[in-house]
Structure 1
Amino acid sequence: MASDDVPSTPALDRRSFLKATGTGGTLAVAATAGCTDLRAADRDDVVLSPPEGYDEDVAAELPHPTYGDEVPEVTIPAPLADREVTTTDFVGERHSLYTFLFTRCSSACPGLMANLVHVQADSLEEGYADDVTLCPVTFDPEHDTPEVLAAYEEDHGVDDDAGNWYTLRPETPAAATDVVDDTFGVTFAETDDADGMAFMHTNLVLVVNEGGHVERAYTGDVPTPADVVDDVRTLLEEW
């Protein structure tokens, strides 16, 4: 994990940031196009079919893990559970979902959080709570204290008693950069937005199978919770 000596991400003027990235609130990412890459159909480390428009060559250029990639190994504190979580803890044990957010966000982050909350609710209703783990990761640890994260969980209807939810919090801004940007490839940057948007960031929800490989990497627009739940159910059925 990065030391406190690593410089924090510099603040950006929002207008300059949007001009540079061509986005309205999230960082631009490469999009796949065309037919599904047939090479992906031969994989034996994933069970879901390749996502629509998947192109292996394009995916290889993306900064974040994508279909078939191994989940990066990193250890992050889970202060509300009074423990640390290593992403590979779940390999051989259960499937896992990750997303990356900050609690002050009023645009994409509530939707990212909602995807994991819906999966947790479905897991409790359908009896697969012991087969999945949900892990939102904050990249704003200076604001997102354990107390703030606890309130955020409560506001979004997280069931902490289910035993399958870990809100992860790198301890410093430098550690957040190391974990979220350098390890997971999720870009974020501080802004000087007068409207209170503290960060611009890439949207990403990862569905990782029990073997430690990515089955889905939803990026760009925030996915619909029903689609994520359907993919998780299919993963459970096919695994």
Structure 2
Amino acid sequence: MDRRTYLGSLGVAGAAGLSGLAGCLDELNVTGGEDQEVVHGEYADQTVLDAQTLPGDPSQYSHPVYGDRFPAISVPDPLTGETISTEDFVGERAFMITFFFTSCPDGACPALLLRLRRVQEDAAEAGYSDDISLLGLTFDPERDTGDVLEEYGYQQGADLDAGNWHFLRPETYEEAEELVNDEIGMRIQRVEDEDEVAEAHEGHGENGEHETDDGDHDADDEHDDGAGHDEDGDHDDHDDHDHGEYTFNHINLVVLVNKDGIVERAYPQVLNEERGTSIEQIVDDARTVAQH
């Protein structure tokens, strides 16, 4: 089966096998039961890491996996005013990318960005900051303006001045959907049903769990370093975003791509406690690939 056609209808076939429709989704509806190793890919000979074991049957993943060439994308970074093209990274630096929206109701998107932040911190400590870029691509440009993304970046503890962190923002939702769904195969589903939206946001800010740096979940402390600042640099514990009348279902995915533009690791179900990859392993993988 072509990975580009798998989960082509998340709202019908794919979502039926997932735990709930509202909010961010931890699990991908793959078949095959036992984990299977990706033993080859078209460009597997250009990888640094060994072949990866993925949940289920890797041939049924819609997004690129080990040994695939990551699709070339060019997306504006509203914080720097430049357009970031992954083709410019080829031969120069590795990159790690995840997909999010700032109005995420259940803490999943902050947890995805936490993994990028930990790689950014390790890169600064180990001296490979110039060898890797960290990319967060929003699929909600209607609400995720440049100002919102900048504030969100500070809240998540990202070093926006390091030169290797980029928030990517397509101009419209239609462009974001085509880019994320069709070109990359990272499935999203916009939910506008009032009952489902209300269910997704029920208890947000009260019982929502957030992941800390050690991988544990803490309902009270979003980040262990106390990151969370308003435009004046003061701590801000409030969620000021207007969640509006829609939310998203989406796969929780992080992808690591080497300097040749080849996928070294796709981390699906990355937030799944049983089947996800630890933050420490993700950091180690990124360091190995970037320093190669």
Query: Same fold by TM (over 0.5)?
Result: yes
For residues 202-224 of structure 1, give each alpha carbon's deviation from its aligned partner in whole angstroms, at most 9, with x where no partner exists. 11100000000000000013243
Residue correspondence of structure 1 range 165-176 to structure 2 within 5 A: 165-176=165-176
SS class of match (2:261): coil
Q: Residue in 2 aligned with 1:21?
A: 17
| Residue of 254, 269, 272 corresponding to 1:205 | 254
Q: Work out the CA distance in 1 between the residues paired with 2:31 and 2:130.
A: 34
Q: Which runs of 5+ in 2 are unaligned?
A: 1-10, 202-246, 272-276
Q: Residue in 1 aligned with 2:46?
A: 45
Q: Residue in 1 aligned with 2:61?
A: 62
Q: Are residues 103 and 80 of structure 1, via their aligned partners in 2, closer, same or farther at CA, if it must alter by over 3 Å?
A: same
Letter in 1 for 2:68: D
SS class of match (1:99): strand
Letter in 2 for 1:129: S
Contact 2:38 2:53 survives alignment (8 Å): no
Q: Work out the CA distance in 1 between the residues paired with 2:87 and 2:15.
A: 38
Q: Work out the CA distance in 2 between the residues paired with 1:37 and 1:160.
A: 35
Q: Are residues 19 and 61 of structure 1, via their aligned partners in 2, closer, same or farther at CA, if it must alter by over 3 Å?
A: closer
Residue correspondence of structure 1 range 210-229 to structure 2 within 5 A: 210-222=259-271, 223-229=277-283
Q: Work out the CA distance in 2 between the residues paired with 1:160 and 1:38.
A: 37
Q: Which runs of 5+ in 1 are unaligned?
A: 1-11
Residue correspondence of structure 1 range 106-121 to structure 2 within 5 A: 106-121=106-121
Q: Work out the CA distance in 1 between the residues paired with 2:181 and 2:47.
A: 25
Q: Work out the CA distance in 2 between the residues paired with 1:21 and 1:54.
A: 15
For residues 172-230 of structure 1, give each alpha carbon's deviation from its aligned partner in whole angstroms, at most 9, with x where no partner exists. 01011011111111111122320445111011100000000000000013243212101
| Residue of 194, 198, 204 corresponding to 2:198 | 194
Letter in 2 for 1:177: E
Letter in 1 for 2:53: E
Q: Residue in 2 aligned with 1:163?
A: 163
- What is the RMSD computed on CA atoms of the aligned residues? 2.4
Q: How many residue pairs end up in the alignment?
A: 221
Q: Residue in 1 aligned with 2:90?
A: 91
Offset of residue 43 of structure 1: 3.2
Q: Are residues 96 and 193 of structure 1, via their aligned partners in 2, closer, same or farther at CA, if it must alter by over 3 Å?
A: same
SS class of match (1:60): helix
Q: Are residues 78 and 31 of structure 1, via their aligned partners in 2, closer, same or farther at CA, if it must alter by over 3 Å?
A: farther
Q: Work out the CA distance in 2 between the residues paired with 1:203 and 1:172.
A: 21
Contact 1:37 1:54 survives alignment (8 Å): no
Q: Work out the CA distance in 2 between the residues paired with 1:78 and 1:46.
A: 28
Offset of residue 59 of structure 1: 2.6
Percent of paired sites with the same residue: 38
Higher helix share: 1
Q: Are residues 162 and 17 of structure 1, via their aligned partners in 2, closer, same or farther at CA, if it must alter by over 3 Å?
A: same
Letter in 2 for 1:99: T
Offset of residue 88 of structure 1: 1.3
What TM-score, normalized by structure 1, do the two folds share?
Answer: 0.84
For residues 67-99 of structure 1, give each alpha carbon's deviation from its aligned partner in whole angstroms, at most 9, with x where no partner exists. 010010121111101111112110000000000
SS class of match (1:67): coil
Q: Residue in 2 aligned with 1:6?
A: none
Tell me, yes or no, if structure 1 residue 235 matches structure 2 residue 289: yes
For residues 7-44 of structure 1, give each alpha carbon's deviation from its aligned partner in whole angstroms, at most 9, with x where no partner exists. xxxxx7xxx9996232244162426735535446x932
Contact 2:98 2:135 survives alignment (8 Å): yes
SS class of match (2:30): coil
Q: Residue in 2 aligned with 1:72?
A: 71
